[in-house]
Structure 1
Amino acid sequence: MIEPATIGEHYDKRSPIGDELRDGQLHMWYWYDREDDASLTEAVHRMTRKVTDTLGLRAGEHVLDAGCGPGETAIHLATRFGVRVTGITVSEFEIERARSRALAGGVGDAVAFEYGDFTALSYPDGVFDAVLALESLQNAPDLDAVLAELYRVLRPGGRISFSDFSLGAQGDPARLATFMETLKLPRLPTLPRWLEHARDAGFEIEEHTECGPRVFGMKGKYLEAALKVRDTVTAKFGAAAVDEFSRLHHGFFAPRKDQIGYVIVSARKPRR
């Protein structure tokens, strides 16, 4: 079992340069095709909007950003929808960076960032109107326990939207194993299995999609975008740090494009 502290260290090592490359959002990108000329930052923000729009947020609601990264997504939610956001992460770097970003953005009253293990949340039952989990459930040591906790802290009728990697085409198990070890993934469910986990926790599925070809399938575009700014990032962090960042991510690119899917799932806690 991968402990939360190990996941925190995993992100502490990767997040500083990742934050630089993706403008405060560490999750995946969304490109329509090879001819799509969106920048890396724009492609990542496109994924943010694609997932968060499914929550149907309303001004004044309280959102839990479970696995908040360096804070840009929470700030986006607060400024676009007029919601309050509590972001949790097990990465000390991410908490510090998120708080600094919120202060600079003038949204300190609307967002808060805390160290939080979502296998054992400190919040009362039913305190949140919505939960967002962008590529954070996949690292959960016990996925069913985490979903049960997120279900608990949602009010009746509250919504959850999450996005994560999924198992695509079969074959090349060694490549998949390398990918999972690199990202510290204890499992790689298919889309049907993701839905089953959510239903087992009590959620009612309302919308889901599989968009792997436009996400992991565009890994070549990410590499091109990263290479364009390599010199700038190296000037800020140093060659040794950039080389180590590249080494840590090497296994991410091991699978074939069709082996790694990407799911977006929206569900609701029953009103009863």
Structure 2
Amino acid sequence: MAELRDGLAEIGKHYDERTPIGEEFRDGQLHMWYWYDREDDATLPQAVHRVTRKVSETLGLRPGERVLDAGCGPGEASLFLARQYGVGVTGVTISNFELERARGRAEEAGLSDLVDFQYGDFMELPFPDGSFDAVLALESLQNAPDLGQVLRELFRVLRPGGRLAFSDFSLGEPGEPSDARRVEQFMTTLKLPVLPTLEEWLGHLRAAGFAVEEFTQCGPRVFGMKGKYLEAAMGQREQVAEKFGEERLAEFSRVHLGFFAPRKDQIGYAIVCARKPR
């Protein structure tokens, strides 16, 4: 248990350090982008917001429902859910920076009555059984020290018939041994304990008791568009450097080099929606 706690503290520190610049590039969001092709003229924040929309739309949210944003980041996705669907959202994060940033965003948006942010470990949530109608997890499950445990915990806090929707990286084509080392670099950079294939993700869900209802593999339009991300980020580089300083931005770039190491087809991106049986 102490080892798991140490791992969570390390993940929290990882996001405390990564989020300030990461969310600056993505306008309050931290997860991946989605571009249809090289000619797609969406901005980086617009491409990132597409993932928020695509994942949340699978939940079929209704006004008044209670939603858990598990690993809420700096809070923009939670605010989108409240605005778009009229739902009450509880966001949890283990990053102190993200918690403060998310609470500030909710207050600025006048949504503090609908959205609540808490410091919390999604492997041991402080909520009674059946507290939520739906759970959203945008690239947060991948950091869980024990994926089975976190899925069982999310299953517990959902009411019977409640839905879970998430997006996460998945393992694509393994390739040659040299390519495997590139995947290792990717996982180390993002602090990923495991990198399941899409089928393995579905297996983990079923083992936790969920009934899988919808899934898609959209890696080519996500990690496969890493070149477009770099172009978009370079277009914002000057303003980000002005805010954070050249030295800090250079360090941010350096520690993320491993993220870009794999071939495009090695890293998939899964969007999955599952339900807790009634």
Same fold? TM cut 0.5: yes
Aligned to 2:242: 235
* Among candidates 158, 167, 172, match of residue 168 of structure 1: 172
Aligned residues: 271
* Among candidates 37, 40, 51, match of residue 41 of structure 2: 37
**SS across alignment from 1:228:** helix
d(CA) in 2 for partners of 1:91, 1:220: 29
> What's the CA shift string for 1:160-187, capped at 9, x where partnerless?
0011000001121110000000000001
* Among candidates 8, 16, 41, match of residue 12 of structure 2: 8
Gaps of 5+ in 2: none
**SS across alignment from 2:58:** helix
Report how far residue 190 of structure 1 moved: 0.4
d(CA) in 1 for partners of 2:210, 2:69: 18
Aligned to 2:102: 98
d(CA) in 2 for partners of 1:191, 1:55: 19
**Once structures 1 and 2 are overlaid, which stretch shifts more, 70-79 or 242-251?**
242-251
The code of the aligned residue for 2:271 comes to I
* Among candidates 242, 254, 265, match of residue 258 of structure 1: 265
Report how far residue 248 of structure 1 moved: 1.4
Structure 2 counterparts to residues 65-104 of structure 1, below 5 A: 65-104=69-108
* Among candidates 173, 182, 185, match of residue 189 of structure 2: 182
The code of the aligned residue for 1:11 comes to Y
* Among candidates 145, 148, 162, match of residue 144 of structure 1: 148
TM-score by length of 2: 0.97
Structure 2 counterparts to residues 187-226 of structure 1, below 5 A: 187-226=194-233
The code of the aligned residue for 1:173 comes to A
> What's the CA shift string for 1:18-55, capped at 9, x where partnerless?
11110111000000000101000100011110000000
Report how far residue 221 of structure 1 moved: 0.2
* Among candidates 227, 235, 252, match of residue 245 of structure 1: 252
> What's the CA shift string for 1:211-267, capped at 9, x where partnerless?
000000000000000000100000001011101110111110000000000000100
The code of the aligned residue for 2:249 comes to V
d(CA) in 2 for partners of 1:183, 1:77: 26
Percent identity, aligned pairs only? 69
d(CA) in 1 for partners of 2:59, 2:138: 12
The code of the aligned residue for 1:183 comes to L
The code of the aligned residue for 1:20 comes to E
Report how far residue 117 of structure 1 moved: 0.5
Aligned to 2:66: 62
The code of the aligned residue for 2:190 comes to L
1:155 matched to 2:155: no
**SS across alignment from 2:215:** strand
d(CA) in 2 for partners of 1:17, 1:116: 23
Gaps of 5+ in 1: none
d(CA) in 2 for partners of 1:127, 1:49: 23
The code of the aligned residue for 1:98 comes to A
**SS across alignment from 2:61:** coil
**SS across alignment from 1:209:** strand
Aligned structure 1 segments of 4 or more residues deviating by more than 6 angstroms:
none
d(CA) in 2 for partners of 1:154, 1:204: 13
